[in-house]
Amino acid sequence: MKLYRTSDGNFVEDGGNYFRVPESNFDALVGHENLGAYLRAVVEAGKPAADFAQARLEAPIGSQEVWAAGVTYFRSRSARMAESKDAGGGDFYDRVYTAERPELFFKATASRVAGPGSNVRIRSDAKWSVPEPELTLLINPRGQIIGYTAGNDMSSRDIEGENPLYLPQAKVYDRSCALGPCILVSGDPLPATTPIQIEIRRGGGNAVFSGATTLAELKRKPADLAAYLFRENTFPFGAFLMTGTGIVPPDDFTLAPGDKVRITIDPIGTLENDVVQGPLGSAV
């Protein structure tokens, strides 16, 4: 089952049919004692809703904070070591890749998150910007993984590489994160074969970058990442946790305004966003 948040309320999809969810408060859904069973009952009781197609998809988020894990794929470790070698930071990334404690960092508040079809931003003071396609966990207030979505951890690699202490500026700014298009509602681990794909198109033309990985390359278990996040932290509305990127474009690649980023995680769907630069609300 997939849960969609839209301009016209919440919908659940099952078997190609969409059903209106009576509970309109997304936080209440995340905090539900058994979200899967509640949505199953909605599907079984309801008639398919004809009005889903008219609704605009919104980021599937309420009051949750978004956190992220880093250096959870070998490809990310190597890219981070290379970009920070002049700053003497390379060793930290190698060490965190093998350490028991993962790298976890604060990524976004809901107001900084872009939904499906809206704009993500690159910083005006950055010269090297990339998208990071990441499986993203939805965790309820009790620390249980209750769903998955696709995420884009937009990052400024030159700022991050100049000094690892600049990480919050490289990672956290308006529309530096995208989530969607829906929540795949499931507490079960996704198979290791789950593919994560990205494609970046420029000028309405062909892809200027595409890449793919699978969850088999993810070094850490999602449940372990969630458990670390919930150590000594309470999340009254639950939290999102991005699980890190396994796809890094070549070093001569940087995003440009007007680029279209498509991130596909097969059981979830495709998250598509346009890239903009400049004041919040600027069009491509």
Residues in touch with ligand DO4 (CB under 6 A): 68, 70-72, 76, 80, 103, 132, 153, 167, 244-245
Q: Which does 71 bind (CB under 5 to 8 A by kind): Mg ion, ligand DO4, none?
A: ligand DO4
Residue of minimal Cβ distance to ligand DO4: 70
Cβ nearer to Mg ion, comparing 57 with 248: 248
In contact, 91 and 119? CB cutoff 8 Å: no
> What is the smallest separation between the CB atom of 76 and Mg ion, expressed in angstroms?
7
Indicate which of ligand DO4, Mg ion, none lies near residue 80 (CB less than 5 to 8 Å, by partner kind).
Answer: ligand DO4
Supply the minimum distance, in Å, between the C-beta of residue 213 and ligand DO4: 11
Give the nearest distance from C-beta 217 to ligand DO4 in angstroms: 12
- Judged by beta carbon, residue 42 or residue 271, the one nearer ligand DO4 is 271
Q: Distances from the Cα of 192 to the Cαs of 37, 53, 141, 147, 216, in angstroms? A: 25, 32, 26, 16, 5
Site for Mg ion, rule CB under 5 A: 132, 153, 245
Nearest residue (beta carbon) to Mg ion: 153
Pairing state of beta strands 113-114 and 177-185? parallel
- Least spacing, CB of residue 199 vs ligand DO4, in Å: 18
Helix axes 74-83, 90-98, angle to 10 degrees: 160
- What is the full DSSP assignment across 50-111? GGGGGSPEE-S-SS-EEEEEES-SHHHHHHHHHHTGGGT-HHHHHHHHHSSSPEEEEEE-GG
Cβ-based nearer residue to ligand DO4, 153 or 199: 153
Neighbouring C-alpha atoms within 13 Å toward the C-beta of 44: 6
Closest CB 92 distance from ligand DO4, rounded Å? 8
Query: Any idea how long the chain is?
Result: 284
Beta bridge partners of 273: 261
57 binds, among ligand DO4, Mg ion, none (CB under 5 to 8 A by kind): none
C-alpha 93, offset from chain centre: 21
First to last CA, the chain: 34
Q: Between residues 59 and 248, which has the closer beta carbon with respect to ligand DO4? A: 248
Cβ nearer to Mg ion, comparing 141 with 164: 164
Nearer to ligand DO4, 64 or 84 (CB): 84
CB of residue 160 vs ligand DO4: minimum separation in angstroms?
6
Copy the structure tokens of residue 187.
Answer: 């507490």
